[in-house]
Amino acid sequence: MSVAAASSGRADLQIVRPYIQATIETIIVLCSLEVTHNDPYLRGEGPDLPKDFAAVFSVFSRGANVAVCMGFQKAVYQGIMDKMLSNFDNAKHSLDDGLKELVNVIFSKVRGFANTDGKVLNRGVPAIIYGENIKVSYLTTASPIIVPFETAVGPFQLELILET
């Protein structure tokens, strides 16, 4: 697994693991979809799926800051929302609301995992971005860690930027 950390070029999987676990639990519970993940990798070392919908938010504590981007292709996101929302109508407010709910639940689970270690996590204001084949860039020299997920409705990715 080739994921980055500040000095060694390898990530501390203890930081990445809660995001993976929280994402899997959230998709299973909220969307009634089985979800699996593959090994994380640095952006550029594996596929970077196109994104049409993304939630971007930061998680910070005294020890580290993490920028998070949860990105989906349109058909995959709509498939997930179809499972999550019984009356999905393609209206923008429904798209936003579904992604906001995913972010809130994932962050709550990550916070719960981290607080067992005595860490206090806070979240910055999330942004929901949508358009055709959007690009997400970060104002840092760190490379995003890509965590690929697979569901019955298609793949999606979580990107994490770690700064300690």
pLDDT in tens, 12-54: 567 788 899 999 999 999 999 999 999 999 999 999 899 999 9
What is the amino acid identity at position 27? I
Rounded mean pLDDT of 89-118?
76
Domain ranges of the chain: 13-163
CB-count exposure of residue 85 (10 Å: 0-12, 13-18, 19+): middle
Q: What is the pTM of this model?
A: 0.84
pLDDT of residue 4: 40
- Which of 59, 67, 76, 57 lies closest to 148 in space, CA to CA? 76
Q: What is the mean pLDDT of residues 58-64?
A: 80
64/59 Cα distance (integer angstroms): 8
Topology given in CATH for the domain delimited by 13-163: Chemotaxis protein chec (3.40.1550)
User: How far, CA to CA in Å, does 18 sit from each of 24, 38, 45, 85, 123?
Assistant: 10, 15, 22, 25, 15
